[in-house]
Structure 1
Amino acid sequence: MAGSTLIFVSGGVRSGKSAWAEKKVLDAEAARSIYLASGRAYDAEMKARIERHRMDRLGRGWTTIEQPLHLEDALAKLQPGDAVLWDCVTTWLANELYEGWENGMPCAEQPGCMEKKWARLQETLIGIQEIAAVLVIVSNEVLDDFIRDRTYQFWLGKIHLWLVAQAKEAYEMENGFAYKRK
């Protein structure tokens, strides 16, 4: 990818990856630190949790863009030179794979649906890099997530391989320590 620096970090649940990634973005000293949040409010409790996290980030100087689906819609909200954190791939993937489940037609069961979303994600990440100074992407480990769906694991693995290949730096987090893999 041309443009900004891409940094990819993955790790297990509670590995410290999100806090570490936040520090990387804040250290970039950009005009704006953008937090692309992938959480989706399915109920009042989750809505309150998302709002609490957004307000906490605001108090620490972040601009939050809630984008649980269709990450490409965030492009229009970015400004040249932003430092961007996308947290997290696994949440976005679950949202996109199972979009339409409430109507009995999740993307995961529609031929070609996820392939289209994957192509759009690649284009979007390239687009973000053309705008941003730095893009830090966070994800859980492929087999560490609570979802044991083979389709989910396949797509997460495919996305991770692509991100590591494109990244200037790739890290694996464990117990608060970042181990550089690339």
Structure 2
Amino acid sequence: MVRGKLVFITGGVRSGKSSFAEQYVMNEQAKRNVYVASGIAVDGEMKERIERHKDDRRNYPVEWTTFEQPRHFEQIIPKVKEGDAILWDCVTTWLANELYEGHMEQVEKQLYEAIDKLLEKVQVLVIVSNEVLDEPLSDYEDTVYYQKWIGRIHQKLVEKADHAFEMEYGLGRQWK
């Protein structure tokens, strides 16, 4: 099989990233649409957002297979089938989940290895992430640490990507 296409989509909160990504995946007309969810319903707001995303997918004319994968992204590899279209939403949530476990160099290495393995199997892998670097660096050490990791991961993902989009006001700008 030919290497799958890697698409990276970023933007601010409620910028239209997820809807854009869902449409992108559905337009691929793959054998199966797979949604990899990183969110954990730790509070009412997050629970509401997760439910809204699920409702959105239920209203589409295609079926979605959903895998809840808040950590250890590499564990979805055996669940994926040849020719799938995958939407992973989202890197920023996943990274926040992983940061509490430490060993970030190993986690980051496993992420890129997992992406490479997935691209050997899938038709397309669409990765969604929040743009959190538009703000000045924080005064809080943990936040600065997070910003460092997400910035580096975003740069590496865009480098690997076939296409990179930034969403704003529901409109996508293609950077790559």
| TM-fit CA distance, 1:128 | 1.2
Cα distance per residue 1:72-92 (max 9 Å; x no partner): 111111000000001100000
The size of the alignment, in residue pairs, is 168
1:81–1:131 contact (8 Å) kept in structure 2: yes
1:58–1:64 contact (8 Å) kept in structure 2: no
| TM-fit CA distance, 1:42 | 3.1
Change (3 A) 1:179 1:51: closer
Structure 1, unaligned runs of 5 or more: 100-106, 108-112
* Runs of 4+ with >6 A deviation: none
The equivalences for 1:74-153 within 5 A come to: 74-99=76-101, 107=102, 113-143=103-133, 148=138, 149-153=143-147
The CA distance in 2 between the partners of 1:4 and 1:164, in whole Å, is 15
| Residue aligned with 1:142, SS | coil
- In the alignment, which residue of structure 2 is the partner of 1:36? 36
| Residue aligned with 2:87, SS | strand
| Residue aligned with 1:143, SS | coil
The CA distance in 2 between the partners of 1:69 and 1:135, in whole Å, is 18
Q: Greater shift after overlay, 80-89 or 37-46?
A: 37-46
RMSD: 2.1
Superposition TM-score, scaled by structure 1 size? 0.84
Query: 1:67 corresponds to which letter in structure 2?
Result: Q
The CA distance in 2 between the partners of 1:178 and 1:35, in whole Å, is 20
Superposition TM-score, scaled by structure 2 size? 0.86
- In the alignment, which residue of structure 2 is the partner of 1:64? 66
2:95–2:150 contact (8 Å) kept in structure 1: yes
